[in-house]
Amino acid sequence: MLHRPALVQAWNKGGQTVELVTDGVTIKQEGYEIEAIHDLAGATELGRCQNSRSNGTGDVIDNLIVTTKTIHTISALSAIKRRLTQGSTILFTQNGMGTIDEVNAKLFQDSRTRPKYMTAIVSHGVYSKGPFSSVHAGNGTIHIGRVHQTPPFDARLPAKEHEGQDSTLSSLGYLSTLITQVPVLAATMVTPIELMQIQFEKLIVNAMINPLTVVFDCRNGELFSKANILRLMRSLLSEASHVIRSLPELQHVQRIESRFSKERLDELVLRAAEKTSRNFSSMLQDARAGKETEIDYINGYIVEKGEQVGVDCVYNRRLVQMVKDREKITDAEVDDFFPHRRSQFQALSRRKIDCDL
């Protein structure tokens, strides 16, 4: 389903094929049926593409995979809302968090009639060469699971009881079976509470790398070789760790304190930055192209959750605004833009000296 006229034009111009490059080998496939879900005033040719508005297409959608940027999710789903029922399953494969809350608030307010939701956390290395052409740059995994519709979630119940109460595996049927049976995807089903924790781990990694590459205008691997940037990241990380460990839905999860400790999260972030050291983050690419970024669904989500649990995320809030304002600084200017960081570390140093004495 194509939600922009430009995509229809690109589809026809590219020969109506999907291209995937793996280890230098290019595979092209055709025969796909494409449907446009918005008015196509900007598209000169439909080709084999149907226009769901002009031809009356309106069949119920049983299974839908959402791969748009988080910022475009509401717009894309609004066009097909009437075709999604309580029998539909939507799989979200996006960066950031908070999208489903927004979808519920704006599109599916009634919990009795809204679709079932799944989320997939993807660690495969994939980048785009252009419309309908991608490079599979590195093998990874996919964790897929059901998203709970009715929080709070009682994490004290055993995983099997959660699966039984929520019909996690049986209710997802076609999509979960299809994805987990493709060997190259290395996909596994996880419980809702494990899914949430994996989401938070990926959120932390993205929040500590992506926006900083925008502010310092650099590759991932260039960030933490500078002491000032590393200290700033750890200040951001401290806030995020505090927020996650304070969430009521995670209070009864075993080993939550150690899993989301500052020390473990620091290792995750540094390992990810090293693994992707030559990459330009997707957020930096969006910023350089003058596009809206997903900052509200990454660091902005941390700030929002912090407000809910009483944690003031001053570092993350400042970083969100800097990304939105497209402010760029050098590592030598960190203290000028984050003055509270200087006073905090001076206070910590004084306390350490007092203890040593």
In angstroms, the CA 233 to CA 223 distance is 9
Q: Which of 197, 120, 119, 191 is nearest to 158 (CA)?
A: 191
The pLDDT of residue 45: 45
> Both 42 and 151 in a single domain?
yes
pLDDT score for 39: 56
The whole-number average pLDDT for the span 178-182 is 94
What's the rounded mean pLDDT across residues 275-293?
Answer: 94
Phi-psi region of 254 (alpha: psi -120 to 50; beta: other; left: phi over 0): beta
Cβ-Cβ contacts under 8 Å for 13 (sequence gap 6 or more):
none
Mean pLDDT, the chain, whole residue set = 86
Question: What is the percent of the chain where pLDDT is above 70?
Answer: 82
- Tokens 């252009």 locate to 130
Q: What is the mean pLDDT of residues 3-32?
A: 91
Q: Is the pLDDT of residue 88 over 90?
A: yes
Q: pLDDT confidence of 243, banded at 50, 70, 90?
A: very high
For residue 302, the tally of other CB atoms under 10 A from its CB is 29
345: pLDDT strictly greater than 60:
no
Q: Please indicate, yes or no, whether residues 321 and 264 belong to a single structural domain of this protein.
A: yes
- Look at residue 127 in the predicted model and tell me its pLDDT: 83
Do 155 and 221 lie in one domain? The reply is no
Query: For the chain, what is the domain count?
Result: 2
Q: What pLDDT is attached to residue 117? A: 96
CATH number at residue 85: 3.40.50.720
Model confidence band, residue 159 (pLDDT cutoffs 50, 70, 90): very low
> At which of 156, 190, 224 does a domain end?
190
252 pLDDT higher than 70: yes
Residue 173: the pLDDT is 77
Residue-wise pLDDT for 51-68, tens only, equals 544 444 568 999 999 999
Global pTM reads: 0.85
pLDDT of 99 higher than 60: yes
Give, to the nearest 10 degrees, the angle between helix 339-356 and helix 314-325: 150
| Same domain assignment for residues 185 and 200 | no
* Together in a domain, 244 and 101: no
Q: Do residues 173 and 264 share a domain?
A: no
Q: Which of 18-32, 46-60, 214-228, 242-256 has the lowest mean pLDDT?
A: 46-60
Q: Are residues 43 and 145 in the same domain?
A: yes
CA distance 233 to 74: 31
> What mean pLDDT comes out for the span 18-34?
93
Q: What is the mean pLDDT of residues 157-169?
A: 46
Q: Given 127, 155, 190, which residue is the final one in a domain?
A: 190
Joined tokens for residue 151: 């929080």
Long-range pairs for 254-263 at CB < 8 Å and ≥24 separation?
256/197, 259/197, 260/197, 260/200, 262/234, 262/237, 262/238
- The confidence band for 151, taking pLDDT boundaries of 50, 70 and 90, is low
Are 145 and 201 in the same domain? no
Residue with the bigger pLDDT between 127 and 210: it is 210
| d(C-alpha 254, C-alpha 5), whole Å | 48
Tokens describing residue 78: 């609004």
CA pair distance 139, 338, nearest whole angstrom: 38
Confidence of residue 37 (pLDDT cuts 50, 70, 90): confident
- Whether residues 200 and 54 share a domain: the answer is no
275 and 314 share a domain? Answer: yes
Q: Is the pLDDT of residue 76 over 80?
A: yes
Residues spanned by the domain of 290: 195-356
Does residue 338 or residue 341 have the better pLDDT?
A: 338
Supply the pLDDT for residue 325: 97
- Of the three residues 190, 205, 223, the one that is the final residue of a domain is 190
HEC readout, the chain: CECCHHHHHHHHHCCCCEEEEECCEEEEECCCCCEECCCCCCCCCCCCCEECCCCCCCCCCCEEEECCCHHHHHHHHHCCHHHCCCCCEEEECCCCCCHHHHHHHHCCCCCCCCCEEEEEEECCEEEEEECCEEEEEECCCEEEEECCCCCCCCCCCCHHHHHHHHCCCCCCHHHHHHHHCCHHHCEEECCHHHHHHHHHHHHHHHHHHHHHHHHHCCCHHHCCCCHHHHHHHHHHHHHHHHHHHHCHHHCCCCCHHHHCCHHHHHHHHHHHHHHCCCCCCHHHHHHHCCCCCCHHHCHHHHHHHHHHHCCCCHHHHHHHHHHHHCCCCCHHHHHHHCHHHHHHHHHHHHHHHHHHC
Q: With cut-offs at 50, 70 and 90, classify the pLDDT of residue 50.
A: low
User: Which band of pLDDT confidence, cut at 50, 70 and 90, is reported for residue 36?
Assistant: confident
Confidence of residue 5 (pLDDT cuts 50, 70, 90): confident
CA 315, CA 320: separation in Å to the nearest integer? 9
pLDDT at 89 over 70: yes
Between CA 166 and CA 150 the distance in angstroms is: 10
Does residue 240 share a domain with residue 178?
Answer: no
pLDDT for res 354: 45
pLDDT higher than 60, residue 44 = no
Task: Report the C-alpha gap between 13 and 8 in whole angstroms.
Answer: 9
Q: Indicate whether 175 and 279 sit together in one domain.
A: no
